[in-house]
Structure 1
Amino acid sequence: MPEPAPPDVTPAGDDPNALPVLEPFRASEPLTIGVELELQLVNTHDYDLAPFSDEMLRLMSRIDLPGAVVPEMTSSMIEVSTGVCRSHAQVREELEQLRSALVRSADRLNIAVVGGGTHPFQQWHRQRIYDKPRFRELSELYGYLSKQFTVFGQHVHVGCHDADAALLMLHRMSRYIPHFVALSASSPFVQGQDTQFDSARLNSVAAFPMSGRAPFTLSWDGFRDFFSRSTRTGVVRSMKDFYWDIRPKPEYGTIEIRVFDTPLTASRAAALAGFVQALAAWLLHEQPFVPREEDYMVYTYNRFQACRFGLEAVYVDPVSGRHQPLREHILQTLAVVAPHARDVGASEAIEQLAEATRAGVNDARWLRQKQGAERLLAEVVRQASLRFQQAA
């Protein structure tokens, strides 16, 4: 979320050698949402990535916009975020404002902005780490993985009224990670090759040691104890060191869902946020199940299936063990949350996603279809850049 906030941690007393302390959870309005999008900057010559983030940040800083515009790990990336939003329509409006400003600024620099979870043919070794202390530290720690982290995701924040409610929401949402992955998948190509994954981006994220799922605890006291034990080992200094699929963000009073590939359009990004909000409303008001540690027995398998096969994946129910097509389970979920979508103003988002799901279409399929027709990945990126420019 883009509102200014204190650091993730506070020092324990005045001792410079003291271990960091987890920031208190700041309550926020339940079911508010915020979106972050990591986007590609490409030149308009061969549509490879272009290191123009400084120039884009300079131009964007002159425009009155919602949310924030910030650099990312490498200099061919830029991140935009909405403010705190209460509806799908507000998210869409703010993302459209940001998209329009990005397109205008890119035009001035003779570059283009593109969605998608990976750039189809960029070479990671050519990327430049953005000159920011945290990014330099990460580069020193993770070596080549930092440049390979030139991948692009959408993060969705959901407001929670207290810390325990946030953890409950986090673990309930974890059942729907494969749904989020399949609906947003837009990274089939890496280093010029079809990976045969719909979402190859998450394979890059998985290389980091603190990735994966959050520890199972439903109390903030238990989570604080986990954080203390982690910092005591010296491998963790703040919440930013956790690259979990979903993580609590105590400084914002949210949970942050991090598995979405960046969609090719602002409209799709807004629809995914609307789905998250409607799903959260259903989970909050209906309390349909209590999450269990045992739910995670099939978590990695379901996540892999969604990354590999997208909407054609198999979904394993964590309670019954029943196998069914993920596409069917997504449509069932969309139908279940539809009444709550009406309450929070996300009906249009649910209908948009249901229509695409019934047709078996996500952005990964669109990219593959374009490559099949064009046989040239640079042309695919060019067409993707035109798609990003579209207002709807």
Structure 2
Amino acid sequence: MSTAASNNSPVDPDSDDVRSAPLPSDPESRAVKLEPFNKSEALSLGVELELQLVNTHDYDLAPYAEDMLRLMAQTPLPGSVVPEMTSSMIEISTDICHSAQDVITQLSPIREALIRNADKLNIAVVGGGTHAFQQWHERRIYDKPRFRELSELYGYLSKQFTIFGQHVHIGCPDADAALLMLHRMSRYIPHFIALSASSPFVQGQDTQFDSARLNSVFAFPLSGRAPFTLSWKEFEAYFERMTRTGVVRSMKDFYWDIRPKPEFGTIEIRVFDTPLTVERAAALAGYVQSLAAWFLQEQPFEPTEDDYLVYTYNRFQACRFGLDAVYVDPATGQHMPLRDHILMTMTQLEWHSEALNATQALGELRTSVESNRNDARWLREKQGKERLLAEVVRQAALRFRGQA
């Protein structure tokens, strides 16, 4: 990954690309060239986690991002800690990593600092893709130019975007290889959704989805899938055509499930719910890295536009049913349990995961799949026992601390 572009961090520090100037009236003058795809180390990793800040009175979201950021700035840590859309959220990220073990080595001290500073503020930090019972209209937009701009553009959707995801960056050897990997990864989007699903509750209701978070993402006009092209030159031409319309100014305006990040030399996978623990977040990163190694070293299949015939259906199935979903193989049209497809894929990846020191990471994920357990299942079981969502959030906060 490019270090010059990111101060040794492979994740986006959320720069203020604010649309303060009026758009030119001439479409030709609006066109923006896409920046070059920077060189990165193939299979290098970066992880971002969006986290909830809750009070310790009723475990609702609490607007303490600014205080938390101030305290976190006093401790030297890997990666970065930055604000997110609303003031009850923060985002943590790693520096460049080379394995799942590297990811947990970096996330662990960040977690410990978060816990220590949350205790000072009498709040708690929680994982999960949604807060179980917060009311979107009570949220405050974080006071930052880009967030204010997005709030003006998207209205109430910006407050409903108080949702929490994990993003995984994977280093690619060149621009064309990045697009090839992006479209190969697209077949495994249902895996990522089901394995990370942790958002069954929204505004106090069980949505019957394992990942309800993504329903909020899908409301944005530039969400969904990237256009099918395997040539960076063609992708640059697409980007220029989009900027000419005035709808897009930068790659940050695309809310695709996977998008290229040319400044880092990566692709960024964006469909994961934030897990309840940093250990599971690291394991998921190890799964992505093992898949990427398989793609690069064995070239197992050539993606085609027809892969996307069942893309939306597979994605919906994973969001709705998690590990109990049906998976439609885009190459053969065969229907099979998603759980079986995940286990079959993990078996195919064994040699690659061993070479990447990811055997333990994939083993932990495999065990959860075999026992039909993800974080959404854990949250529902707690609610079934407690019958009180505030208590579920409290126990999720303890789990983030490693105490549950």
Q: TM-score, normalised by structure 1?
A: 0.96
> Is the CA contact (8 Å cut-off) linking 1:156 and 1:257 kept in structure 2?
yes
Report the AA paired with residue 5 of structure 1.
Answer: A
1:277-315 CA-to-partner distances (Å, cap 9, x unmatched) read 011001110100000000000000000000000000000
**Counterpart code for 1:199:** S
Q: 1:177-198 CA deviation, whole Å, 9 max, x = no partner?
A: 0000000000000010000000
Residue pair 1:106, 1:113 contacting (<8 A) in 2 also: yes
Q: Which residue of 1 aligns with 2:148?
A: 136
1:73: how far off?
Answer: 0.3
Asked if the contact 2:2–2:263 (Cα under 8 Å) also holds between the matched residues in 1, the reply is: no
Equivalent residues of 1:8, 1:238 under 8 A apart: no
* Superposed CA offset, 1:131-174 (max 9, x none): 11110110000000000000000000000111000000000000
1:170 correspondence with 2:182: yes
Matched, 1:151 2:159: no
Aligned residue number for residue 192 of structure 1: 204
CA shift in 2, pair 1:391/1:376, >3 Å:
closer
Residue 212 of structure 1 aligns to which amino acid in structure 2? G
Tell whether the 8 Å contact from 1:371 to 1:377 is kept in structure 2 after alignment. Answer: yes
SS at match of 1:20: coil
> Could you say which residue in structure 2 is the equivalent of 1:23?
35
**Which amino acid is 2:49 matched to?**
L
Q: State the match for 2:69 in structure 1.
A: 57
> How far is the alpha carbon of 1:391 from its aligned partner?
7.5
2:373 is aligned, of 361, 378, 385, to 361
- Counterpart residue number, 1:247: 259
Q: Deviation above 4 Å: which 4+ runs of structure 1?
A: 1-4, 6-9, 15-18
Question: 2:236 maps to what in 1?
Answer: 224
Contact 2:181 2:292 in 1 (8 A): yes
Residues 85-164 of structure 1 mapped to structure 2, 5 A cutoff:
85-164=97-176
> Aligned partner of 2:72: which letter?
M
Asked whether the 8 Å contact 2:30–2:245 carries over to 1, the reply is no
Structure 1 residues 328 and 5: CA distance shift in structure 2, 3 A: same
Deviations 1:297-346 (A, max 9, x none): 00000000000000000000001100000000000011111110011111
* Matched residue, 1:205: 217
RMSD: 1.7
SS at match of 1:45: coil
**Matches of residues 36-75 of structure 1 in structure 2 within 5 Å?**
36-75=48-87
* Corresponding position of 1:335: 347
Is the Cα–Cα contact under 8 Å of residues 8 and 239 in structure 1 kept in the other structure?
A: no
1:304 to 295, 299, 316: 316
> Aligned partners of 1:362, 1:349: CA distance in 2, in Å?
15
* 3-state SS, counterpart of residue 39 of structure 1: strand
Determine the structure 2 residue equivalent to 1:12.
none
Structure 1: 5+ residue stretches without partners: 10-14
Change (3 A) 1:19 1:243: same
Task: Name the SS of the counterpart of 2:395 in structure 1.
Answer: helix
Secondary structure in 1 matching 2:327: strand
The amino acid that maps onto 1:343 is A
Q: Is the partner of 2:349 in helix, strand or coil?
A: helix
Is the Cα contact below 8 Å between 2:30 and 2:246 reproduced in 1?
Answer: no
SS across alignment from 2:33: strand
The whole-number CA distance in structure 2 between the counterparts of 1:194 and 1:3 is 43
Does 2:192 align with 1:180?
yes
Q: TM-score, normalised by structure 2?
A: 0.94
Unaligned runs of 5+ in 2: 7-14, 18-22
Contact kept in structure 1, 2:52 and 2:164, CA below 8 Å: yes
- The alignment-based identity, stated in percent, is 72
